[in-house]
Chain A
């Protein structure tokens, strides 16, 4: 078991494995995202209150979900790297940050576009929106902190601490709509009882979430390969790895 684990964490092996895996994430992701977008835009009937504006849900909710998912992956990888001193885990954590940041930006921007016709404003400082904005700053802070060190090992340790401390914001984002009075609506899908959204409207939503997850798999494979190479002073194995 440990032997297998060490083999997996060895840079050349991980580099090759990620290269093999990437297309298996990328193509299904493209297919699912396009199918979900088509389904969400043209197949699903308009909402009885929000009309066609609710179709923004299919890009907004999956982006918001991914923004939190990517952060948790980043923080767990950082913790693994810090505790067991696995360089590959630090590299994975670093690879997560730009992808997570872009999904966070997307969640904020599409939410803002949705807020204008429904709430009459692009932005309010309610708990959900503010904590999601904080998430964006955590990602940006993490990347800026990494960039401020010349020594990659020191960058790994310092940024890992930030990533781990910042993970407290993820449950705050999720429960913000219950804990505080927010303009943002409470959860419709992730409820203990059954979701308060029609099944026909849920199908493209889950499809888009699955597509985004696979896309994350593709993007992190690509970025992690880059991170591995940047950390290898002597990548003599690179030639046969390609």
Chain B
């Protein structure tokens, strides 16, 4: 079975590949969004800590 035949997906290439591609995009977006949300919260919490330290001293 050649590569060409595999990629054709029995004539359903236009449906199978976009479905898998979309899944990859959504999972990657989700991964990025989760990391970003955590990193933003860490930054702002650290900033709050610094302000608290500055006001104490």
Contacts and interface: CB of A to CB of B under 8 A. Distances in A.
Contact of B23 (A110, A228, A229, A236): A110
Nearest to A53: B12
Interface stretch (A80-88, A101-109, A181-189): A101-109
A226 B37 contact: yes
A63 B23 contact: yes
Interface size class of B (residues with CB under 8 A): 20 to 34
A56 B45 contact: no
A75 interface: no
Nearest to A29: B27
A42 to B, nearest CB: 6
Contact of A227 (B22, B27, B41, B46): B41
A126 interface: no
B37 A51 contact: no
A128 interface: no
B45 A113 contact: no
Interface string A115-137: 01100000000000000000000
B3 to A, nearest CB: 11
B9 A223 contact: no
Given A98-B33, A222-B35, A229-B41, A110 B12 contact: no
Nearest to A208: B23
B2 interface: no
Given A51-B10, A102-B30, A235-B45, A56 B16 contact: yes
Contact of B45 (A37, A51, A60, A232): A232
A30 to B, nearest CB: 9
B56 to A, nearest CB: 11
A55 B9 contact: yes
A114 B31 contact: no
21 contacts: A53-B15, A53-B16, A56-B19, A60-B19, A106-B23, A106-B26, A113-B19, A116-B15, A117-B12, A215-B27, A219-B34, A223-B38, A225-B41, A226-B34, A226-B41, A229-B38, A230-B41, A230-B45, A234-B48, A236-B49, A238-B45
Interface of A: 33, 37, 41-42, 46, 51-53, 55-56, 59-60, 63, 98-99, 102-103, 105-106, 109-110, 113-114, 116-117, 215, 218-219, 222-223, 225-230, 232-236, 238-239, 242
